[in-house]
Amino acid sequence: MNRIAIIPARSGSKRIPNKNVLPLCGKPMLQWTIEAAIESGAFHRVLVSTDSQAYADLAVSLGADVPFLRDTALDDHSPISHATARALEQAGDFFGEEYRTVVQLMPNCPLRTSATIVNLVSRFERDRPASLISGFQYGWMNPNWAHEIDSHGKPIPVFPERMTMRSQDCPALYCPTGAVWVIEQERLLTTRNFYAEGWQLEPIPWQESVDIDDESDWAMAEILLQQRLGFSVQDAGSVSETGCGRQA
């Protein structure tokens, strides 16, 4: 089972400071991803790539490997695939191992399940695309009717030919999400890019695709986790009872 899961968890988030370790429904956000990776049973090793010793200590306490800190791609401008590729190199050197399949799991997508991880790994190893990236189908926010707005406030349709189409007649559109990205080790080390020529998208439930970047994303994730855990939004007002809420 020569597979490795790499969870990039850089400190220094600006929109939600330290979001990777803030409590999300009773657990540090990072814990949701570590637990899903371990529960999947798909990996020889679950590695967290971080620049923070505090994050590393937390990850180790949750069962992940963090034998080194990230030494490159430390800013918020570097592509995350570069950090993952570097972590893969560091892991190979440290453990003396090679991994056929590499899976990147972003901690800001905490709602993806262990079953979804298994499904994408199985699909990748069965069909062998250049890479496999999770995504979701757009629903009520229909991008077929999307507009840009010019400097004078004039709306400009992105797909003008679809403006008179009914939503059910428009083609289905999909958006990649950072929940699960799968690639072979050699390809990632060569290209340092998951969007390799020939990459494919695997749809997953939109609820598992929520990507937390700002406060509104966080609120959405909390509501969905509350539903999964079996208590109501009304009950969530009491942080002591539910373990949810940014007040914690």
pLDDT in tens, 142-201: 999 999 999 999 999 999 999 999 999 999 999 999 999 999 999 999 999 999 999 999
User: Over 90: is that where the pLDDT of 248 sits?
Assistant: no
The SS3 assignment for 223 reads helix
Mean pLDDT over 205-228 rounds to 96
**Residues 90, 12, 174, 190: what is their CA dihedral angle, to the nearest 10 degrees?**
-20
The pLDDT assigned to 73 comes to 72
Q: Summarize the chain as % helix, strand, coil (round to 5).
A: 40, 20, 40
Q: Which domains does the chain have, with CATH numbers?
A: 3-136+176-242 (3.90.550.10), 139-172 (no CATH)
Percent of the chain predicted with pLDDT > 90: 86
Highest mean pLDDT among 71-80, 207-216, 228-237: 207-216
Sign of CA dihedral 25, 204, 9, 77: negative
User: Over 70: is that where the pLDDT of 232 sits?
Assistant: no
Q: How many residues does the chain have?
A: 248
What is the H or E stretch that residue 116 is in? helix 114-127
User: Which has more pLDDT, 150 or 234?
Assistant: 150
Other Cβ atoms within 10 Å of 240 Cβ, number: 8
Would you say 131 and 194 are in contact if contact means Cβ atoms under 8 Å apart? Answer: yes
The pLDDT assigned to 26 comes to 93
User: Over 70: is that where the pLDDT of 247 sits?
Assistant: no
Helical axes 29-40 vs 114-127, angle rounded to 10°: 50
**Residues 138, 144, 150, 154: what is their CA dihedral angle, to the nearest 10 degrees?**
-120
